[in-house]
């Protein structure tokens, strides 16, 4: 959560950054994004894009 920017960003961009900077797998990052969305900590203003609340 703390690594997400405050502006809207594409999910693909988040996945790429997490892979390059942290070495995280794509599936792990996508799962984390889904969980955060379900918990109401982030939302999708447009398909394929997320934003912090």
- The reported pTM is 0.84
Residue 4: its pLDDT value, please? 86
Query: At residue 48, does pLDDT exceed 90?
Result: yes
1-28 pLDDT, tens digit each: 788 888 999 999 999 999 999 999 999 9
Radius of gyration of the chain (CA): 10
**How far is residue 17's CA from residue 13's CA, in Å, rounded to a whole number?**
6
Residue 6: its pLDDT value, please? 87
Query: At residue 40, does pLDDT exceed 90?
Result: yes
Q: Tell me how far CA of residue 36 lies from CA of 9, 39, 47, in angstroms.
A: 15, 5, 16
Domain range annotation of the chain: 9-52
Rounded average pLDDT over 16-44: 94
Residue 38: its pLDDT value, please? 95
């Amino acid at each position: 959560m703390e690594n997400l920017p405050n502006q809207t960003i594409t999910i693909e961009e988040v996945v790429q950054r997490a892979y390059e900077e942290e070495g995280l797998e794509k599936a792990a990052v996508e799962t984390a994004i889904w969980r955060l969305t379900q918990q109401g900590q982030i939302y999708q203003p447009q398909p394929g894009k997320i934003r912090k609340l």
